[in-house]
Amino acid sequence: MTNRYLLLTVYVSVLAACASNPQSANASYGQPVYAPHTVKPSALASGGMVVQPMSQAAAALLAQAQQQTRDNQLDAASVTLERALRVDGKHPKLWSQLAEVRLRQGQYEQAESMARKSNSLAGTDRTMIMRNWMIIEQSCRLRGDDKGVKAAQQAQKTL
């Protein structure tokens, strides 16, 4: 059991480090904040879905939630992310961040559901999709769903 918590702690720490977005913290007020890696020229040519810029309000709430997550204030981060989703409910980064918080709260099924929602909105953002599949894999592992773990690992290999 201790190994599971250690693995979860390491995994979440890696995700938290990947989740920080220095661009949004340094963005000048009044300018739209763009999610990294969301538009690739080949996606536009092939008709792939393009993720729209995150609104300033949602970006500010996301930055606040990321800090709350780093401070292990998971309930506050959850509330903040839910507010951000009311502002910009179609941005995959918000759903993915909330999935990470739910995973850390031990709400594994919700974490998986939110990561899948994020994937449905991620378009061609392979980095976001990979992050979500890692959350799904961890969620399945912690629930003892070996079939789900294998499916998530297979999905990661195909990216």
149 Cβ contact list (under 8 Å, min separation 6): 137, 140, 141
Closest CA to 57 of 83, 18, 76: 83
Q: What are the pLDDT tens digits along the chain (159 aa)? A: 555 544 455 455 544 444 444 444 333 333 333 333 333 333 433 345 778 899 999 999 999 999 999 999 999 999 999 999 999 999 999 999 999 999 999 999 999 999 999 999 999 999 999 999 999 999 999 999 999 999 999 999 999
Evaluate whether 137 touches 21 at the Cβ level (below 8 Å). no
Query: What is the per-residue pLDDT for 50?
Result: 73
CA–CA separation, 159 and 156 (whole Å): 5
Q: Where are the beta strands (DSSP E) in the chain?
A: none
- Can you give the pTM of this predicted structure? 0.71
Evaluate whether 39 touches 124 at the Cβ level (below 8 Å). yes
